[in-house]
Amino acid sequence: MYDNDTENNLRRALTEAGRRLVQKNLVQGTWGNLSARLDEKFMLATPSGLDYTSLTPDDMVVVNIETLEYLGKLKPTSERKLHAAIYRDRPEINAVIHTHSEYCSVAAAARVEITAVDDDMRKLIGETARCAAYGLPGTKKMTKATVEALKDRNGCYLANHGAIAMGTSLDEAFAACETLENSTKRLIEAKL
């Protein structure tokens, strides 16, 4: 079972990461979501529909990774199924970030797979960034397709829906997020 210090630190870290996503232009409005593993049974997730700039640590929602039940008054992100499925499939992963960043959204709409353009992408994402097969947001179909596209990878595109990145820590997941967006931008610009 996780302790209060761990939970409080992760609540603050998720709040800061949400603000950084806005500052770095990786999300717009209330789109996208973040989570961090508390232990083998629970995760903290951003709430549904709240702007990142107004989030507080107390707004983060504790969610059971197995049952998807949650504690508190705020409803967690509608993508909690996806986050939980990743944690169940990949025990080494401790943070997941879903974005609607500009260039990753273009690649997701084009439903492409890109080859790593540099060592940073190879290290943080993998040899390629795949595109998960299309599924409506929040559905089992999208969740299953995304978990499959993430095999041996730490990031992928979600067909017509943006991107997802993850890591062993929130900092690593954020770096993977930035790297995927920057690598995708470089590839698109090179193709044009």
Query: Which active-site residues does the annotation give?
Result: 79
Taken in order 139, 140, 146, 147, the sign of the CA dihedral is positive
- For residue 188, how many C-alpha atoms fall within 13 Å in the half-sphere facing its CB? 16
**Neighbour order of strands in the sheet with 131-132:** 61-64, 42-45, 33-37, 95-99, 162-167, 155-158, 131-132
Which two three-digit tokens encode residue 76? 């967690």
Residue ranges in the chain assigned as alpha helix (H): 4-23, 80-89, 102-110, 119-124, 140-149, 170-191
Taken in order 55, 58, 61, 62, the sign of the CA dihedral is positive
Residue 99: how many CB atoms within 10 A of its CB? 27
In what helix (H) or strand (E) does residue 3 lie, and over which residues does it extend? none
